[in-house]
Structure 1
Amino acid sequence: MHRTLIVTNDFPPRPGGIQAFVHNMAVRQPAGSVVVYASTWRDGTEVRRFDAEQPFPVIRDRTKVMVPTPRVTRRAAEILRAEKCESVWFGAAAPLGLMAPALRRAGAGRLLGMTHGHEAAWAQLPGSRQLLRRIGAGTDVLTYLGEYTRSRIAAAVGPRAAGRMVQLPPGVDESTFHPASGGAEVRRRLGLADRPVVVCVSRLVPRKGQDTLIEAMPQILADVPDAVLLIVGGGPYRADLEKLADARGVRASVRFTGSVPWEELPAHYGAGDVFAMPCRTRRGGLDVEGLGIVYLEASATGLPVVAGDSGGAPDAVLEGETGYVVPGGSAEAAAERIVRLLGDEELRRRMGEAGRRWVERSWRWDLLAGRLTSLLAG
C-alpha cells in the first residue's frame, strides 16, 4: 500500500480551519495509508485521548509550534523511513514545505503542499515570497483553495511550480449540515421562533464583518422591524461588537451565543433564514479570507448566503444563484441584499436549494478526499 507522511503544525485537537481541513482529509484516506507527524499543542490527556482515537498513528513533536528546523527535519526523515512512507503531505505548505528537498533525499518520491489563505499573504512580501518560490520548487504539487489564492500564489512561486498547482479546497459534510439540522429547536430555545433571523457563524474578529452587519441593522429593521441578527461564535472582538450594537440602538435585535460546541453548529446555521458574513480585506491585503467554508456549510443547510468580497470568499458563492457577494465593509449593500432575501420566501427557497445541490455536486468531503488520494499517488 502507498503510504504518506503528513507533516503538519495544524492538527486537532488544536482548533482551527486548517486543522479541521487536514484532519477531515486524513480520516478519509485509505486505511493504513497515512502517518501523522504533528506539533504537541498542549500537554495532558486531551491530546493523548484524541490521538488514540485516530485510525492512523499520530507522532507528536515536543514543540507546540512546528517549524522546519534541522531537528524537526531530521525527525521527519526518520519517521518517513521507519514508517516506509513513499510520499509527504505538508498540512500547510508554508513554512513546512521548506523541508521538501531534505525529505526527498530521505526517500520521498512525491511531495505535496497544501496552501491556504496565509500563503496568499506571504506572496505579497519580498522575503516570504522568496520562501514560497523555494517551496514551489521543492514540491511536486501545490494545492490551492480557489482562484483568488491560486492567482496570488502562482505569481510568487513562478511558472513551473504554478503549472503544477491543483485545486483542493476543504469540503462539507452534507450529512451533518442539512436543512433538517435542528434549527427550529435553537430558535425556540432563544425565543426567536417567529422572527426573521439573519445568522452569522464565525470567529469574532474584525475581518469577518460582524460589525458591518450590526451597522446594517438600522436599515434592515426599517424594512423588517422584527428581524434579529444571531451572531454565533466567540472571539476577541465580542466586547467591541456589543458596544457597537448599543451605540447603534439595536442591542435588542442582536443576539450573541458565544462559542458553541461543534456538534451544535449545524443547528445554529439552521436557525437562520439568511446567512450573512460580509468579510473584508484588512492590513493592505495581509488579512484576507482564503475561502470561507461557512458559506458552503450554510448552503448545505439550505440557506441563501450574503458574502463579502474579501479574497477567495466569492469562490464559495454562485452569484445570484446561491446568494450574493457584496463589497466588504459596506453596511448599505449588505442591508439591501438581506432585506431583499428576508422579504422573498420563494427567493430564499430557490437559492437555498441551489446551494444544497452545489455542495452535493462539488464540495463533498469524499469527493475531494478522493482527489487528494490520487494526487499523493502521482
Structure 2
Amino acid sequence: MDKTLIVTNDFPPRPGGIQAFLHSMALRLDPSQVVVYASTWKRGREGAEATARFDAEQPFTVVRDRTTMLLPTPRVTRRAVALLREHDCRSVWFGAAAPLGLMAPALRSAGARRLVATTHGHEAGWAQLPVARGLLRRIGEGTDTVTYLGEYTRSRIARALTPEAAARMAQLPPGVDEKTFHPGSGGDAVRERLGLTERPVVVCVSRLVRRKGQDTLVRALPRVLEEVPDAVLLIVGGGPYRADLEKLAAETGVADSVRFTGPVPWEELPAHYGAGDVFAMPCRTRRGGLDVEGLGIVYLEASATGLPVVSGDSGGAPDAVLDGETGYVVRGGEPGEAAERIVTLLQDPVLRARMGERGRAWVEERWRWDLLAEKLRALL
C-alpha cells in the first residue's frame, strides 16, 4: 500500500460512528504508511488536552487543523497538499466524501496516485438536492473510487455520479470487533448493577435522537408489558432527545419499566449490549428522506454479542439484518409492529438463541474489521 494521507473532519477523540470507523480502519493499516489530517475536536484547554493525549497514543502521525470543522477551503486544501508532499504520500483517503472529496483535483495535481472517498448516510441525502448532487458528481469525477455502506446508499449515491464513476464504486462498510463484542461480554454485571437480574431486557444502544426510534420503543412498551409484565426497556446512550423520551415514558405510564443509562464509555458498551435479551432500534426516515440511517452498525454489534435484533426500515439499516434469520425488520415509527416482534422474541428463548447464533456467525463471516481493512488496503 502506498503511504496514505487520511483527510477527515471525523476522528477521535470526537465521539461518533464515523470517527470510530475511521480510527478502527487506520489502526489496521501499517502505521508507518499512515498520516492523518483531522480537525480539532473542540476548543478550550480540556479539549486540547484530551486531543493531545489521544494523538500521542496513536501509532501513526496525526496532524490537527486549527478549525473544529474541516472544510475544503483554499487554506485547508493548501495544508493538505503540503502534508501530502512533506510525508511523501501517494494515496489519499477522504474519511467522508462530502464535502472533503472536493479537494481531490488539487491533491492529484500534487502527486496523489490513488484517491478514495468514503460515503456514509448523509451523502445519500445530498444526492437528492440539486446543488449537493452536483458536488457529489464532482467528487466522483475527481476520485478513483467512491465507497458505499450498503445497497441502499449505493443506489442513491450512484444516481448523482457519472456512469463511469458509478461503475467504480466499491463497498466499504464499518466492521465489528468480534473479540470485543461477544456473548459473555459482562452483561450479567450490568444487569445486577441496574437491578435487572431475572427480568427480560430489551436494550437499545444509540445516540438519543428522533431518527433512532427510541420513542417507538416507549410507545410499544405497554403492548409488550401486556404479554411480558416484567419486561424492561434499557436505553443506553445520551443525546438531545432524552428529556422528550422521559416525558413520553411518564405520559405513557411505563416510566417504571424504562431505564436510561446516559452516555456510556466505549469500553463498557459490549457489556451493555450483553445486558439485553433482545436488541431493538426501530429507526425511521425523516425530513423527506434527508435524515436516514446509513447502515446501523449497532445491529451488527448486537449480533456479534449473540442477540436477536429488531431493526427499523430506514435507509440502509436493513442491510445490517438478515430478516427472519438474525432478527426482524419493522416499519419505523410503527409501535405495533415493534411490539409484536419484541414479544415474539421475549417469549421464545429457542428462537432468540438461534437468531443470536446466526447473527454471530454472520458477523464472523462478513463484518470483521480485518476483512474490511484488507478491502481498504486494496483500494489504496
TM-score class, shorter-chain normalisation, is: over 0.9
Task: Give, in angstroms, the shift of residue 42 of structure 1.
Answer: 2.3
**In structure 2, which of residues 269, 272, 275 is the aligned counterpart of residue 268 of structure 1?**
272
Q: Which amino acid aligns with 2:123?
A: E
Q: Which amino acid aligns with 2:8?
A: T
Give the Cα–Cα distance (whole angstroms) in 1 for the partners of residues 314 and 368 of structure 2.
Answer: 24
Alignment of 1:118-267 (within 5 A): 118-267=122-271
Matched residues, number: 376
1:359 aligns with 2:344: no
1:20 aligns with 2:20: yes
Question: In structure 1, what is the equivalent of residue 337 of structure 2?
Answer: 333
Alignment of 1:50-61 (within 5 A): 50-61=54-65
Task: Give, in angstroms, the shift of residue 340 of structure 1.
Answer: 0.2
**In structure 2, which of residues 306, 310, 313 is the aligned counterpart of residue 309 of structure 1?**
313
The TM-score normalised by the length of structure 2 is 0.98
Q: Which amino acid aligns with 1:8?
A: T
Q: Which amino acid aligns with 1:282?
A: R
Question: In structure 1, what is the equivalent of residue 33 of structure 2?
Answer: 33
Q: Which amino acid aligns with 1:329?
A: G
Give the Cα–Cα distance (whole angstroms) in 2 for the partners of residues 282 and 168 of structure 1.
Answer: 25
Task: Give, in angstroms, the shift of residue 157 of structure 1.
Answer: 1.1
Give the Cα–Cα distance (whole angstroms) in 1 for the partners of residues 66 and 12 of structure 2.
Answer: 15
Task: Give, in angstroms, the shift of residue 62 of structure 1.
Answer: 1.1
Task: Give, in angstroms, the shift of residue 31 of structure 1.
Answer: 3.1
Give the Cα–Cα distance (whole angstroms) in 1 for the partners of residues 245 and 2 of structure 2.
Answer: 50
Give the Cα–Cα distance (whole angstroms) in 2 for the partners of residues 82 and 351 of structure 1.
Answer: 51
Residues 220-271 of structure 1: CA deviation (Å, up to 9, x unaligned): 0000011100000111101100111111111111111111111111000000
Give the Cα–Cα distance (whole angstroms) in 1 for the partners of residues 113 and 361 of structure 2.
Answer: 38
Give the Cα–Cα distance (whole angstroms) in 1 for the partners of residues 203 and 186 of structure 2.
Answer: 14
Task: Give, in angstroms, the shift of residue 45 of structure 1.
Answer: 1.2
Question: In structure 2, what is the equivalent of residue 11 of structure 1?
Answer: 11
Give the Cα–Cα distance (whole angstroms) in 2 for the partners of residues 251 and 37 of structure 1.
Answer: 45
Give the Cα–Cα distance (whole angstroms) in 2 for the partners of residues 178 and 236 of structure 1.
Answer: 30
1:324 aligns with 2:337: no
Q: Which amino acid aligns with 1:330?
A: E
Residues 245-302 of structure 1: CA deviation (Å, up to 9, x unaligned): 1111111111111111111110000000000000000000111000000000000000
Question: In structure 2, what is the equivalent of residue 66 of structure 1?
Answer: 70
Task: Give, in angstroms, the shift of residue 40 of structure 1.
Answer: 1.1
Residues 317-352 of structure 1: CA deviation (Å, up to 9, x unaligned): 001000000000000000000000000000000000
Give the Cα–Cα distance (whole angstroms) in 2 for the partners of residues 256 and 201 of structure 1.
Answer: 10
Q: Which amino acid aligns with 1:2?
A: D
1:106 aligns with 2:110: yes
Give the Cα–Cα distance (whole angstroms) in 2 for the partners of residues 49 and 267 of structure 1.
Answer: 26
Residues 25-51 of structure 1: CA deviation (Å, up to 9, x unaligned): 011002311101111122421111111
Question: In structure 2, what is the equivalent of residue 291 of structure 1?
Answer: 295
Structure 1 window deviating more from structure 2 (42-51 vs 99-108): it is 42-51
The sequence identity of aligned pairs, in percent, is 76
Alignment of 1:61-100 (within 5 A): 61-100=65-104
Residues 39-85 of structure 1: CA deviation (Å, up to 9, x unaligned): 11224211111111111111111111110111111111111011010
Q: Which runs of 4+ in 1 moved over 3 A?
A: none
Give the Cα–Cα distance (whole angstroms) in 1 for the partners of residues 55 and 377 of structure 2.
Answer: 22
Residues 156-175 of structure 1: CA deviation (Å, up to 9, x unaligned): 11211110000000000000
Q: Which amino acid aligns with 1:13?
A: P
Give the Cα–Cα distance (whole angstroms) in 1 for the partners of residues 64 and 260 of structure 2.
Answer: 36
Q: Which amino acid aligns with 2:342?
A: I
Give the Cα–Cα distance (whole angstroms) in 2 for the partners of residues 38 and 301 of structure 1.
Answer: 32
Gaps of 5+ in 1: none
Give the Cα–Cα distance (whole angstroms) in 2 for the partners of residues 42 and 224 of structure 1.
Answer: 45
Question: In structure 1, what is the equivalent of residue 354 of structure 2?
Answer: 350
Structure 1 window deviating more from structure 2 (41-50 vs 238-247): it is 41-50
Q: Which amino acid aligns with 2:304?
A: A
